Structures are given as structure tokens and as C-alpha cells.
Copies of this chain bind each other. A is one copy, B any other.
Amino acid sequence: MVIVMSTSATEAEIQGVVSKIEECRFQVHRSTGVTRTVLGAIGKTDDFDLRRIEILPGVESVTRIGEPFKLASRSFHKDDTVIELGGVRIGGDSIVVMAGPCAVESRDQIRQIAAIVAEAGARVLRGGAFKPRSSPYSFQGLGLEGLKYLREAGDAEGLLVVTEVMEASQIEPILEYADILQVGARNMQNFSLLRRLGEVRKPILLKRGISATIEEWLMSAEYIMAGGNYQVILCERGIRTFERLTRNTLDISAIPVVKKLSHLPIIVDPSHAVGIRDKVIPVARAAVAVGSDGLLVEVHTDPEKALSDGPQSLYPEGFRLLMDSVRRIAPVVGKRLT
């Protein structure tokens, strides 16, 4: 923590701040310049509310030293975390493609889509059984039945399976059927849920909240990791801005930023970011070119009739075209499809 005193701070004010800092068990370093004094406070600040110092008389500004997260930080763990799961590698120089419908709608639907995405090169099947819908009057998912169909379809095609968990009571059944548990954007700061997922021993796919800073997102990863579950996969899916012509604004530079700050794998969900089919492929290509570790894409054989998010789902031929692009762009960034 670095405390900058204002130019008009009195010696008594400076002493007041020094005492307060020492009282909070920091070691103080004082630099007295011509026009002002700067205090360095060395110690554990992760959990310290900087505003406690900010409001003392004579203080101009207070700045935290170091990131508030530890286990998620690259300074804690230098090398890329690579999650290995049934022959699929997530992170490092691999690109993983997770694909499937927004929601599991029927046994046939998910079987059919699974076959298509597997054939085109996806390694993980996505599909929602419990759906967070912004309207209480919308289709809320097939629940347990959906989980079974999803697992069955994944097994039939040799695909891993990822699905969303919305609340604690769903963890157990989902653990039984899925390989990766997804935390949706709206639950990124559902700390109760994160805490419980820290006790799980399967990978967690953690979507970025719609207005979360990268730092907050990594703090949510920290929540899971602090419980002992180090297998966290980050997923950028667009943030909210003033622009209205896309559903969200994909923060493409978040990928290199996260790569520098953290060792965790990071993938991109272009479908939710843009919200409309004809922008999905260009943006997915950009995600590969920027160096992300994979894609999470919505694919549907009959998007017109999809019960959820049909308009942003790719048709099978669109998905094949995308996979072809992925294969061609990956080597430019030193990566290859897992």
C-alpha cells in the first residue's frame, strides 16, 4: 500500500497516518520529498480496505501494491495451467472447441447435434439442463432429464460434457453427469456457489460477469481455488457497453491481458458476445487469432425452432466452416486443436 500525502499535509497528519498504518500491522517506509511525503506500507493487504486510510486527514491517495488475488496469479504459478481430461487438453498450446445447443431440448436433438459437432472436431459437448432465463415465463430447461440426455449424447460420440450449475442443490446431480461445471455470467459473484464449487474436484468453467472487471473475475476464480479446486477455465463472453447493435461487446483484449496476469486457461464464447448468428464466425476467428485457448459455441440443427437462443446458434455447415478457420489460424499463434 502506497499512501501519498497532500502537499498541505501537516507533520501531525503524517504522524497520524503512520500510527494508523502501524496499528494495522504494516511496516512503514517514509519518503519525504520537497513538496510532499509518500508512505510505503509493506504487509498483507489483500483483505485491507484502503478507504480506511483514504479518509484520514492529509491523505491524497492510497494505492494497493500487488494484485488482490494469489492462487490465480501468474506470479504465484509461472507456467500455464493445462487441464487434461480424458485425452483433451485445455490450456497451453492447445485449442479446445466446446459446442452444442443452448439448451438440451430432447434426447434426439442433443444426440443429433453431438454427432455433428464431434464429426467436425469439437471435443466437448455443451448443453443447458438448468437455464437461467431473464423472464420467469420462459422455458427453464429439462432439468435432470436433460442432464441424462446430455451425458448419453456425449458418451455416444466420445465427447466430454459441460453444463451450467445455477445453485448449490444442483451440484450433486450435475457432478454425476457432467465433466465440466459451468458458472454463468450472472453468477460470477454468487460467492456462496463459488465457495461450494471450491470443494468440487472437477473443472469449473467460469464465465465473466457482464460488467465484471478482469480483476474481479480473477477474484472469483480465487474463491474457487481457495477451496482447493485449482481447475478453473475462464470464459470471456462479452461485457455491457453503450453499443446497442450487438448483444454485448466482446472484450477481445481481455485474452492477452488475462494471459499475462494469470496462468489459467481462457476461452471465448462468441455466441453470447454478439447474439446474432452472422457475426459469430468472424468474432470466433478473432478469438483464435488473439490467442485464446478455445471456443464455446452454440450450434443447432434447427435454430428456427430452438427453445432458447436459436438466433445466435450456428447451423451445422456454419460450424464446419468455423472449424476449418480455426485449423488454419491456430498455427499462426503457435497453437493446434486438441
Contacts and interface: CB of A to CB of B under 8 A. Distances in A.
Contact of A213 (B6, B244, B254, B286): B244
A187 interface: yes
A193 B191 CA distance: 13
B279 A253 contact: yes
A135 interface: yes
Given A33-B27, A285-B290, A38 B51 contact: no
Interface in A205-259: 210-211, 213-216, 219, 222-223, 226-227, 239-246, 249-257
Q: How many copies of the chain does the oligomer comprise?
A: 4
A75 interface: yes
A166 interface: yes
Contact of A189 (B186, B244, B255): B186
Given A7-B66, A34-B42, A243-B251, A189 B134 contact: yes
Contact of A33 (B40, B193, B222, B290): B40
A132 B190 CA distance: 8
A191 to B, nearest CB: 5
A63 interface: yes
A4 interface: yes
A318 interface: no
A310 interface: yes
Interface residues of A, number: 107
A4 B66 contact: yes
A332 interface: yes
A297 interface: no
A246 B253 contact: yes
B222 A136 contact: yes
Interface stretch (A93-101, A120-128, A150-158, A270-278): A270-278
A312 interface: yes
A60 B66 contact: yes
B253 A273 contact: yes
Contacts of A261: 245
Given A35-B42, A135-B219, A311-B49, A211 B242 contact: yes
A144 interface: no
Contacts of A68: 135
Contacts of A274: 253, 256
22 contacts: A27-B33, A31-B42, A36-B42, A40-B40, A47-B137, A49-B308, A49-B310, A51-B276, A136-B227, A167-B193, A211-B240, A241-B249, A244-B244, A253-B274, A256-B274, A256-B282, A257-B279, A283-B290, A286-B286, A286-B287, A289-B329, A325-B332
A-B residue pairs, 7 tightest by C-beta: A51-B311, A211-B211, A29-B31, A33-B42, A289-B289, A286-B286, A167-B192
